[in-house]
Amino acid sequence: MKQKTIESKVLEIKDKSELMVDLSYSSLIYDHTPIAKEVYELEEVIDILYEEIQHDILNGVKEGATSVEDAHVLMRLAKAGEEIADAALEIADVQLRDVELHPIVKLSIRESDEVLTRVQVLESSILCNKTLGQLKLGSETGMTVIAMRHQNHWLYGPNKNTMIDPNDILFAKGPEDGETHLIELAEGKTSEI
């Protein structure tokens, strides 16, 4: 039981740190400070998780519930995730210091293997009033929604139950032709998901 809790925390660090990298680059490309601030908030969550994991592992070893070898692996994986989170913080910090990013730098980051995009969902869009779970945008368009402005607040790493309302703003990442498809869906230019 204890063991499972440690692993789920390590997984949480993995998922959150990767989300932070995507959010931090998005904040730079779209000159978007709320997302950069969220990276700071997430870093605090990760710091707490990391402390907890170390504590849990040491207790697990002491009580004989965790082998020394497993403990070592879990510590290293947690540390690697925490370092990725620190790197994301560095990237977000460029945005928060109010440095005006050179357009060529922005363009260059956007032209990554996986494109980061921002789109507003119009009232005429088929995406309105459906959950991310119903839409399956990930498998149908290749685009993963990493953040969205929904009913006057920001959601980061939205889940399957998150509903899209008219005028929501989506930040998503995925392949280039997935981006085109998502934009057409959001702007009501196609209803074929």
Query: Which of the residues 151 through 170 are near its own copies (CB under 8 A)?
Result: 157
State how far the Cα of 80 lies from the Cα of 102, in Å rounded to an integer: 31
Closest distance of CB 168 from its own copies, Å: 20
Q: What is the DSSP string of 33-84?
A: HHHHHHHHHHHHHHHHHHHHHHHHHHHHHHHTSS-HHHHHHHHHHHHHHHHH
Please name the helix (run of DSSP H) or strand (run of DSSP E) that holds residue 115, with its range, or none: strand 115-120
In the complex, minimum distance from the CB of residue 89 to its own copies, in angstroms, rounded to a whole number: 9
Q: How far apart are CA 164 and CA 135, in angstroms?
A: 10
Question: x/- contact string, 107-126, with its own copies (CB under 8 A)?
Answer: -xx-xxxx------------
Question: Where on the chain is the footprint of its own copies (CB under 8 A)?
Answer: 3-4, 7-8, 10-11, 14-15, 18-19, 21, 25, 67, 69-70, 72-74, 76-77, 79-81, 83-84, 86-88, 90-91, 93-94, 99-102, 104-105, 108-109, 111-114, 136, 138-142, 144, 157, 174-175, 177-178, 181
